[in-house]
Structure 1
Amino acid sequence: MKKILFVIGTMTNGGAERVMSVLVTWFCKQGYEVSVTTIIDNKIDYPLDNRAHYYPLRFKGRGVQRNIDRIRQLRSIMKRTQADVVVSFLSIINIATLIASMGLNKKIVLSERNDPSKEPLGRLNRLIRNLLYSFLRCDNFVFQTHDAMIYFNKSIQNRSNIIPNPLSVLPDIYEGVRRKRIVTIARLEPQKNISLLIKCFYNICCRYPDYILDIYGKGILLDELKMYTEMLGIGEKVIFHGFVKNLHEHIKDASIYVMSSNYEGISNGMLEALAMGIPVVATDCPIGGAKMYIEHGINGLLVPVGDEEKLTEALTTMIERPEYAESLGRRAINIRRDLSVENIGLMWKRVIDGGDVLQ
């Protein structure tokens, strides 16, 4: 059976990290010899299967020297694990993986997990990535959406696969009474535009003061967002929970799930909310993940990116028309079959084992 090395920056909270954790477990169950390395931070929030071998990096130096040392150590791990296939997630990590694998006889699979026109940050970094993707050896690319794939040139598209995110655990469909809660799961970073959600929630509170907003996730904007809620006078109604396990249990009885991102790959939180039958409102943001799974007015509501008025209007519709909201949720659960771990795992297996490119 083939040996696979998965490469990522960290295994702390984030959608790419969760997906990698799921894939590591799935390939271990299939009998593959699986190794994992994290090249930015060795902290682990998402569990790794006990059968997987974990190779943390030893971080030395600063700046350029530290990056050179990362690549040197990553190359050493590629040799040590004798990996047949190296799978890397996220642009910056993919760049390091390509450089580290030069001259080694490894199959390289690189996965973009966000909007490639926005990530990595900085035009120079994106230029370097695009050049390396075109001219260094990479056997396959994996994208979450068609829109992400067509950002790149034809040479890259011809080696590309479109594979959505798996639902790690198919949560039970909630059939109880929904509480007056609006929930979201997101890193507290500018990309997620949680400040927009908070402002829209403030608008809602003026008419429906019984509602609360539960935010699950952590990030650099935590203190700033808390201050914003206090400034608006809704600090007691907005609860920041940080990173929690068993999220399904925490959000299952919510009235509405909101994804307010400016751009996104495919939001895992959004998918899980849809699969649980929670009525969902999402921004129709690039790179098209929301519109892949939400048909506006059929199984959820889509609103323009950054539009306070439209997002407030959508939330109001969900609150004032609970039967309509429930009907959206009931239709949304149809994604459960397509996004099962088994189905998504088989798609990845086909790529890793050398099958035809999936478009």
Structure 2
Amino acid sequence: MKITFLIHTVYGVGGTIRTTLNLAAALSDRHDVTIVSMLRNRAQPKFRVDPRITVTPLVDIRRDSPDLEDPLSREPSRVFPDTDNQYKKYSRLTDRRAEEYLRACDADIVIGTRPGINVYLARFGPRRALRIAQEHLTHDIHPKKLNTVLARHYRDLDAVVTTTEADAAVYRSKMRMPGVRILAVPNSVPAPPGPPSDGSAKVVAAGGRLVRSKRFDLLIEAFGKVAAEYPDWTLRIYGAGNDHDRLRRLIEERGLTDRAALMGVVSPIEAEFAKASIVAVASDAESFGMTIVEAMRCGVPVVSTDCPLGPAEIIEDGVDGRLVPVRDPQALAAALIELIADDELRRRMGRAALAASRRFDPATVARAYETLFAELAATRWSRAWQRNRPRVRNRLRRFLRRVRPQRRRRTV
């Protein structure tokens, strides 16, 4: 079977890129897999690409690229939704290349990985192929105007796949899409190559983009309370972002310069998580929680805010990690101290986390997708009828509204 993924760019760094490469590699065991990168912004991908995967870039936006000389590259896209936050990177050239590629695509399955790209898929994707939209964010994070656009286009697809069951339930309740299968399949994370954490290092780690929504400021505040009781423990925060300078100042103001550090970007992150004994997540919201799974795959328990939507579907509170209220530094500090104070509890949770994390293995997730492919193929015609029945009913109603006045006039 031929499977094609459509991605914003495979050449950068990010959770969607990682999980797409993980899934594509797992599917390559039994299928012919291509990743189509809408944009190419560097010579080689940052992450390793399985050699069995074909990578096809559509528009090269590197500084000396001939594509930048094309007049269409200077005209804004007419297809990609302007409420998708990557809109400014798309042009009429991207529209044309996407349409040309998809019209000629001979894949059996085509999977889009972000909202604007899923609109391309709905507009231009081959009708003979099964067309699937992945949602790596959440319905309620999208602007309302974007959801209005998506509702119109997603009706023409075969499935919408979210990363959490909670988000799938939101899509089912807020987007009426007859004939479109809406379900949750988690992101995949491979087992790291090195040994898991033994739980002895006096290190709390955290990772992600240094942005306000990740609430590293709250984590630093909570760790101040931890450091007061356990001064031999340290906090390491991995990542980069606009909040870097503010967080550095906060560390200095809290007197934690020797206890907390901003470590920069490290990829892959698992080797660093394996050097820690606890990983902390303080986010206000998570569409899934890749950091949580990456830590668990290293045998490290995670203390996370119980934020919408992912953590509660990954962590079993008190068994393989802890869930605490959102925006509550006291509760976050207390949960960290609970694990720091009890070596056996921390190590037991770490072992449980490692065991539970195996459900996110790429091979397991790939089998879930293969099951979905088979189900969609078997129900193609019945779902087409479900999709078209409202349209047929509406056309019939409009026809009857036109015919009835004519009959009345003839009777009179």
Residue deviations 1:104-125, cap 9 Å, x none?
543211111122201x3x3322
Change (3 A) 1:53 1:190: same
Do the aligned residues in 1 keep the contact of 2:187 with 2:365 (CA within 8 Å)? yes
Alpha carbons of structure 1 residues 233 and 337: separation in structure 2 relative to 1, 3 Å: closer
Query: Within 2, Cα distance between the matches of 1:233 and 1:261?
Result: 23
- Which residue does 2:25 correspond to in 1? 25
| Structure 2: distance between partners of 1:151 and 1:207 | 42
Distance 1:235 1:323, change over 3 A: same
2:266 & 2:347 partners in 1: Cα distance? 26
1:4 and 2:27 correspond: no
If you compute each CA radius of gyration, which structure gives the higher value, 1 or 2? Answer: 2
Q: Report the TM-score when normalising by structure 1.
A: 0.87
Greater helix proportion: 2
The answer to whether structure 1 residue 300 and structure 2 residue 321 are counterparts is: yes
CA contact (8 A) 2:165 2:183 kept: no
Matched, 1:144 2:163: yes
Task: State which of 151, 154, 159 in structure 2 corresponds to 1:130.
Answer: 151
Preserved CA contact (<8 Å) 1:173 1:275: no
Query: 1:195-214: CA deviations, max 9, x gaps?
Result: 22122122322332222211
Report if the CA contact (8 A) 1:182-1:211 is conserved.
yes
1:108 aligned to 131, 135, 152, which one?
131
**2:295 is aligned with what amino acid?**
A
Report which stretch shifted further, 62-71 or 244-253.
Answer: 62-71
The answer (yes or no) to whether the contact 2:28–2:52 under 8 Å persists in 1 is yes
1:155 is the counterpart of 2:177: yes
Structure 2 CA distance for aligned equivalents of residues 190 and 93 of structure 1 = 27
1:315 and 2:336 are equivalent in the alignment: yes
Q: How does 1:261-280 map to 2 (within 5 A)?
A: 261-280=283-302
1:61 to 65, 71, 74: 74
Shift of 1:175: 5.7
The CA deviation at 1:96 is 3.7
Instruction: Determine if contact 2:197/2:298 at 8 Å carries over to the other structure.
Output: no
| Kept after mapping to 2: 8 A contact 1:192/1:261 | yes
Cross-structure match for 1:75 = 99
Equivalenced residues, count: 349
- Structure 1 stretches (4+) deviating beyond 6 angstroms? none
The question of whether the paired residues in 2 share the 8 Å contact of 1:5 and 1:35 is answered with yes
Bigger relative CO (Cα 8 Å, ≥ 6 apart): 1
Deviations 1:208-229 (CA, angstroms, capped at 9, x unpaired): 2222211222233233322332
What is the aligned partner in structure 2 of residue 199 from structure 1? 221
Q: How is 1:334-345 mapped onto 2 (pairs within 5 angstroms)? A: 334-345=355-366
RMSD between superposed Cα atoms in Å? 2.5
Structure 1 residues without counterparts, runs of 5 or longer: none
Secondary structure of 1:333's counterpart equals helix
Greater Cα offset, 18-27 or 57-66: 57-66
Instruction: Indicate if the aligned counterparts of 1:179 and 1:254 stay in contact, CA closer than 8 A.
Output: yes
Give me the whole-angstrom Cα distance separating, in 2, the residues matched to 1:71 and 1:255: 48
Partner residue of 1:48?
49
Q: TM-score, normalised by structure 2?
A: 0.77
TM-fit CA distance, 1:170: 4.9
Distance 1:352 1:46 in 2: 27
Q: In the alignment, which residue of structure 1 is the partner of 2:252?
A: 230
Cα drift, residue 158 of structure 1: 5.3
C-alpha distance in structure 1 between counterparts of 2:176 and 2:164, whole Å = 16
Unaligned runs of 5+ in 2: 62-72, 79-89, 380-412
Instruction: Give the drift of 1:126.
Output: 2.7
In structure 2, what is the Cα distance between the partners aligned to 1:279 and 1:16? 23
The answer to whether 1:97 aligns with 2:121 is yes
Q: Alpha-carbon deviations, 1:134-159, whole Å to 9, x = none?
A: 3xx10111112111011123536951
Pairwise CA distance, 1:267:
1.4
Deviation at 1:19, TM superposition (A): 0.8
Question: Which amino acid in structure 2 is aligned with residue 314 of structure 1?
Answer: A
Aligned to 2:267: 245
Q: Specify the code of the residue in structure 1 equivalent to 2:352.
A: R
